Structures are given as C-alpha cells and as structure tokens.
C-alpha cells in the first residue's frame, strides 16, 4: 500500500534576520505528514544542521528562549 501525503514547507533567507548571515544562508521547515512536528533545515556559512522538533518540544524551547527572570 502506498500513502501519498501533502506537507507544508516554508523557506526564507537568513540575511534579513541575522547580521552574520551571508547571501546563501537559509532556513526551511517542513511539517510532518502527521501534523505532530516539523523538520528544520538550517544552512549558514558556519554550519549546516538538520533537526526535528515535535510541537511540544517547540513550545518548551520557545518558553525557555522567552523566559524573563524576575
């Protein structure tokens, strides 16, 4: 049995967001076919990374990045 899925993928150059980025640097995300997370593909002049996050892991990461000690 073959299952065909359509997934959403988004892409942007990093230069408008990162002062250290060069013209070829980019980031893209592709949602998982089951909707439970996404793959991140990050290419910059200093690194190339591919990692995956569930939406729960993304929520935890966002919480930590935005944490304000008070």
Q: In order along the chain (70 residues), what is the average pLDDT of each group of 10 residues?
A: 95 96 96 97 95 98 94
The pLDDT assigned to 32 comes to 97
The pLDDT assigned to 70 comes to 80
Domain boundaries, the chain: 9-65
What counts of helices (H) and strands (E) characterise the chain? 1, 4
Considering only CA atoms, give the Rg of the chain.
15
């Amino acid at each position: 049995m073959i299952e065909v899925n359509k997934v959403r993928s988004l892409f942007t150059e990093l230069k408008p967001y990162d002062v250290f980025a060069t013209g070829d640097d980019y980031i893209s995300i592709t949602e998982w076919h089951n909707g439970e997370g996404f793959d991140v593909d990050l290419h910059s002049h200093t690194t190339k990374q591919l990692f995956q996050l569930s939406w729960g892991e993304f929520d935890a990461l966002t919480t930590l990045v935005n944490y304000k000690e008070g």
